[in-house]
Amino acid sequence: MADTHNVTEFIFLGLSTNPEVQKVCFVIFSFLYTAIVLENFLIVLTVITSRSLISPMYFFLSYLSFVEICYSSTTAPKLILDLLAERQAISLWDCMTQLFFIHFFGGTEIFLLTVMAYDRYVAICKPLNYTTIMNQQVCAVLVGIAWVGGFVHSLAQVLLVFHLPFCGPNVIDHFFCDLLPLLKLACSDTFLIGLLMVANGGTLSVISFAVVLASYVVILLHLRTRSSEGRQKALSTCGSHISVAALFFGPCIFIYLRSSTTLSVDKMVAVFYTAITPLLNPAIYSLRNAEVKKAMKRLWSKTMKLNEK
């Protein structure tokens, strides 16, 4: 078997080989990444500083926004720098590190979205016991489980790839280190490893999304007995979460639950879940949630008053 360390670096083909297109992409992705960091940081800051956003829903939302920043930061800065570089390369160890953190933060987000669905289920279907069931200790444990779950998921994926022999070629038709492109470069039969990766990532995505959908089916059935006003308020918060969940789980399921062949659309799907989804999530939550909008206005007012002094 070939030595894994025969290949010490990988070359990215990136989004385009056209210099003019690369310059345009540099401007676009620089703007997108800046907006992602600012928007999600604003959500975190708003939740932390606002006395009105003390429910578990906003506690989980602040962690989700923090994970979104971390998730985008695993790919966007490298992509932006590569768009101005003559040679888009990454070392083997940096590739494995990037792969680990992509799946670590991605897996953590999957678990957080599932936890948030459970939180909405308890809040709407068991309102009298909500504060007892979703107390601070339980919320902290659920967030901890999300982080540990993301770590275990990512470690399993990286260990499967790390021991593969890479003896050349070393060109990745992508803009970051991802599982399927790396499998294509291995100098051994990767069929079994590919199945294990799908079993890990694909099953996690499908089961988590199924749990989220099941939670909202139960919620919708329960809301039939509510008043029109109560039903509308509940649907507003649930609508935000289910929209975010669909935006995140959709591309994940597409990537995993298909044949291992690399498709031309894969890059666009990757752009969507690494740049577009983290950008849309804060907007969806802030625009559809009156409490978040009010808290942001109060934060803005306080900031302006401080600047005037």
Three-state secondary structure of 128-146: HHHHHHCCHHHHHHHHHHH
Taking alpha carbons only, the member of 170, 178, 193, 152 closest to residue 266 is: 178
CA dist 238 to 4, 147, 235, 295, Å?
A: 47, 23, 5, 19
Please give the Cα distance from 245 to 76 (Å, whole number): 21
Which segments within the chain are labelled E, that is strand?
9-12, 89-91, 171-172
Are 220 and 239 within 8 A, CB to CB?
A: no
> DSSP secondary-structure letter at 262?
P
DSSP state of 199: I
| 3-class SS of residue 171 | strand
Higher model confidence: residue 139 or residue 237? 139
**Three-state SS at 306:** helix
What's the pLDDT tens digit per position in 216-264? Answer: 888 888 887 776 766 776 777 677 778 888 888 888 777 766 655 555 6
Domains of the chain with CATH codes:
12-308 (1.20.1070.10)
Q: According to the model, what pLDDT value does residue 288 have?
A: 67
Q: What is the pLDDT of residue 197?
A: 79
DSSP per position, 53-115 = --SHHHHHHHHHHHHHHHHHHTTHHHHHHHTT-SS-EEEHHHHHHHHHHHHHHHHHHHHHHHH
CA 123 to CA 236: how far, in whole Å? 13
Calculate mean pLDDT across residues 149-176: 89
Are 270 and 174 spatial neighbours (Cβ–Cβ below 8 Å)? Answer: yes
Specify whether the CB–CB gap between 125 and 71 falls below 8 A. Answer: no
What share of the chain in percent tops pLDDT 90? 39
Is the confidence at residue 30, as pLDDT, over 90? yes
- At 135, phi and psi to the nearest 5? -80, 175
- Residues of the chain with pLDDT > 70, as a percent, come to 91
Edge-first strand order for the sheet with 9-12 is: 89-91, 9-12, 171-172
Q: What is the mean predicted confidence (pLDDT) over 169-181?
A: 88
Lowest-confidence range among 3-7, 130-134, 296-300? Answer: 3-7
Q: What is the pLDDT of residue 222?
A: 83
- Predicted pLDDT of residue 2: 40
What integer pLDDT is reported at residue 139 of this predicted model?
A: 95
Query: 125: helix, coil or strand?
Result: helix
How much is the pLDDT for 23? Answer: 93
| Residue 37 Cα to chain centre, angstroms | 13
CB-based contact 276:33 (threshold 8 Å): no
CA angle 32, 176, 244 (to 5 degrees): 50
Higher per-residue confidence, 309 vs 250: 250
pLDDT value of residue 178: 86
